[in-house]
Structures are given as C-alpha cells and as structure tokens.
C-alpha cells in the first residue's frame, strides 16, 4: 500500500515525505551506507514540517577530504556540505536562486574553491537572473 500524506496547501507531492533524498551506496555490498532527506519546502519548514526533501536536479561532488557538496534542491535555494562517511550536514548557505546544477571545484594558489550555477531553473518563484557562486574551503 502506498503511504499518503495529509493534504497540504499548495502544490506538493501526494505521497508521504521525504520527497527527495541524498543517498550513499557502499559499492562493495550494494547496500545503502546512508540515506537522508535532501531539501525542503520553505513554507512547510516555517510551519515546523522540516526534512521533507525536495525535487532535485543536479548531482553532488566529493572532495578528496570526504566532503560532499550539492545544491540541486529546487525550492529552498541552499548549497550544502555533508560528511561522505556519515551523511551528517557540515555546512549550508542560502543562495539568491536554487543551484539546480552539479558543482565544480578548482584550486588557485593552493586554495580550493567550490562553485555552482544558481539560476533558479525550475523554481517558479525564482528571479530571472542567475549567478555563479564560489565558496572557498577552509585551509
């Protein structure tokens, strides 16, 4: 039987959350190493309904130090960093638009950066402009 969510105001999926997840698979066993909700609907989070997950477009990258960076979530406009071993949220930042893209990383003068395109792509409430946003990693 398919789980059903209580009726919600607005345009939300008709099944119980999470509506989007970030998953780590153990390639030796094929089992989930961890699975967490990714993203949320800001209007539901303000009402106390957090960790709903969200429609997502774009993938993650993983640094040599084991940090997973991902934007991808359509509605909450956040860019996040997770521990690749546990799935624990390490950091997040709100952007002017959603980052429905896969980030990239580069180095300048020994400093590592992560950059993502934040265009709002699929968010009907996004502004018509976009930007590339870069974050410097701690040394």
The pLDDT of residue 55 is 87
Residue 1 above 50 pLDDT? Answer: no
Q: What's residue 75's pLDDT? A: 86
Residues spanned by the domain of 41: 21-136
Is residue 16 situated within a structural domain?
A: no
Question: Residue 122: its pLDDT value, please?
Answer: 63
Residue 133 Rama label (left phi>0; alpha psi -120 to 50; beta)? beta
pTM reported for the whole predicted model: 0.86
Residue 128: what pLDDT?
A: 66
**Separation CA 87–CA 34 (nearest Å):** 6
The total number of structural domains that make up the chain: 1
User: What is the per-residue pLDDT across 73-98, written as a single tens digit (0 to 9) for each?
Assistant: 888 889 999 999 999 999 999 998 88
What CATH number does the domain containing 87 carry?
2.40.128
For the stretch 13-64, pLDDT in tens is 888 889 999 999 999 999 999 999 999 998 899 999 988 999 888 899 999 9
Q: How far apart, in whole angstroms, are the C-alpha atoms of residue 103 and residue 114?
A: 7
The DSSP string of 95-128 is: -SS---S--EEEEETTEEEEEEEE--TT-TTS-S
Note whether 123 and 98 are within 8 A (CB).
yes
In a domain, 1, yes or no: no
SS3 80: strand
Say whether the peptide bond before residue 76 is cis (omega within 30 degrees of 0): no
Burial class, 88, CB count within 10 angstroms (exposed 0-12 / middle 13-18 / buried 19+): exposed
Residue count (the chain):
139
The confidence band for 125, taking pLDDT boundaries of 50, 70 and 90, is: low
């Amino acid at each position: 039987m398919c789980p059903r969510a209580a009726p919600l105001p607005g345009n939300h999926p008709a099944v119980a959350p999470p509506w989007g997840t970030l998953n780590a698979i153990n390639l030796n066993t094929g089992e989930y190493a961890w699975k967490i909700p990714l993203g949320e609907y800001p209007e539901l989070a303000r009402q106390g309904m957090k960790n709903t997950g969200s429609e997502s477009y774009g993938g993650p990258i993983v640094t040599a130090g084991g940090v997973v960076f991902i934007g991808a979530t359509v509605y909450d406009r956040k860019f996040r960093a997770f521990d690749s071993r546990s799935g624990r949220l390490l950091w997040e930042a709100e952007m002017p638009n959603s980052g429905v893209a896969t980030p990239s990383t580069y180095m300048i003068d020994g400093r590592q950066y992560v950059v993502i395109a934040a265009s709002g792509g699929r968010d009907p409430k996004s502004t018509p402009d976009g930007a590339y946003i870069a974050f410097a990693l701690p040394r």
